[in-house]
Structure 1
Amino acid sequence: MHVIILGAPGSGKGTQSAEIVKQFTLEHLSTGDMLRAEISAGSELGLAAKSVMDAGDLVSDDIILGMVENKITANQSGILFDGFPRTLPQAKALDKLLKDADQSIHCVIQLDVDNEEIVERMLARGRADDNEETIRNRLSVYEEQTAPLIAYYRDQNKLSTVLGTGSITDIFARIEKILAK
């Protein structure tokens, strides 16, 4: 089973992903975590990605798709895609990568959270790249580039929208009902 979790930065994708992978035994693929690891390692990819991420922009599709393809090839069970795809071209490329591997996306969970709550959450978590201007830019980039994925997956009858507010347990219970089907 392959699952995508969609939502604006700070909507709780990482928190809910941890619960989903435990409950449903999926490999957690977070491109954000993969990129932060590259940055921490000081790799060439990490240094290139850091300047883009610090500005609140998205890393190039070629870099991201290469990392994702390696994970799909190595995976034997299922993957939870957290923060990927972010754009329509990435979604179409992911569909092609999976089709070539005789696989597909089974379900897309969209976490729905108000932008002002997201700003508060992200400022509270205290990451170096989380200042209000960068957060608002990231939300704007999300609206422009990632929001079209909602229609894309809705048209494929794979999208389920989940209210991403309340306790972590309550949000996960909503997600669990969808994935248990």
Structure 2
Amino acid sequence: MRIVLVGPPGAGKGTQAAFLAKNLSIPHISTGDLFRSNINQKTELGKLAKSYMDAGNLVPDEVTIGMARDRMEQPDAANGFLLDGFPRNVSQAESLDQALKADGVELDAVLDLEVPEGEVVKRIAGRRICRKDSSHVFHESYSPPKKKGVCDVCGGELYQRDDDTEETVRKRLEVYHTQTEPIIDYYRAQGLVVTISALGKVDEVTKRAMEALQRKDDEDDRDDA
């Protein structure tokens, strides 16, 4: 299957993308990984992207599209892929459609992870990171440390990242609603959107997503029959 994963910050897209890609035996393609890989390998697109980033400018859509297209044409993506973090706006979605059409393929589904705004704020603003080891992550409500402000693993100080404050989270949500959320309507008009609740345990959400994607696939098969 060829899938685009969308949802607000804090919806658990990265976590779900990894599980879904494994269950579906397709590569998980994230924007962050694309940029890191191209820059580290010093590809022409990577050099171009780095020149914009070093100048403090946004990387143009056509560069991002080029990276995504190159990755989607790799052998391991022959039977499908899961795009995470891309497209981010309707312009990118339109460009992606054009690129896929040129390659003779099309998307099978757009999985929309739905989370109430209050839950998003709670999830992100409650997160605390260890200063000694950033892989040690706690949450004030869901996985609190035994001693407030102290890492259970190494005793390091726990802190809240600047981009995890409630004010920052609400600004990120505003950007999501303005720029990214419109792609849901764009894809809904094509009959591609599958919306599920992203509330609950990780495995519960994964199961819900797999079942929804299977139903979508079955419906498409019936329509083609």
TM-score range, shorter chain: 0.7 to 0.9
Q: Which ranges of 4 or more aligned residues in structure 1 deviate by more than 6 Å?
A: 38-43, 50-53
Structure 1 length as normaliser, TM-score? 0.84
SS of aligned partner of 1:180: helix
TM-superposed deviation, 1:131: 3.2
Q: How does 1:70-81 map to 2 (within 5 A)?
A: 70-74=70-74, 75-81=77-83
CA distance in 1, matches of 2:35, 2:184: 24
Stretch moving more, 84-93 or 40-49: 40-49
Larger RCO: Structure 1 or Structure 2 (Cα < 8 Å, ≥ 6 residues apart)? 1
Q: What is the total number of aligned residue pairs between the two structures?
A: 177
Contact 1:39 1:49 in 2 (8 A): no
CA distance in 1, matches of 2:201, 2:55: 34
TM-superposed deviation, 1:135: 2.7
Q: Which 5+ residue runs of structure 1 have no aligned equivalent? A: none
Contact 1:36 1:46 in 2 (8 A): no
SS of aligned partner of 2:68: helix
Q: Structure 1 residues 166 and 159 mapped into 2: Cα distance closer, same or farther (>3 Å)?
A: same
Structure having the higher helix fraction is: 1
Contact 2:29 2:82 in 1 (8 A): yes
TM-superposed deviation, 1:155: 0.9
Aligned partner of 1:167 in structure 2 is: 201
Q: Structure 1 residues 34 and 122 mapped into 2: Cα distance closer, same or farther (>3 Å)?
A: farther
Percent identity among equivalent residues? 36
Please point out which of 88, 91, 94 is paired with 2:90: 88
Please tell me the residue identity of whatever aligns with 2:182. Answer: P
Contact 2:4 2:109 in 1 (8 A): yes
Q: Does 1:130 align with 2:163?
A: yes
Structure 2 length as normaliser, TM-score? 0.69
For the aligned residue pairs, the C-alpha RMSD in angstroms reads 2.8
Aligned partner of 1:3 in structure 2 is: 3
SS of aligned partner of 2:120: helix
Q: Does 1:19 align with 2:53?
A: no
SS of aligned partner of 2:28: strand
Q: Which 5+ residue runs of structure 2 have no aligned equivalent? A: 135-160, 216-225
Aligned partner of 1:148 in structure 2 is: 182
Aligned partner of 1:97 in structure 2 is: 99
Aligned partner of 2:109 in structure 1 is: 107
Please tell me the residue identity of whatever aligns with 2:115. Answer: V
Residue deviations 1:126-169 (CA, integer Å, cap 9, x gap): 48563324332221111001111111111111101110111111
TM-superposed deviation, 1:67: 1.1
TM-superposed deviation, 1:36: 5.4
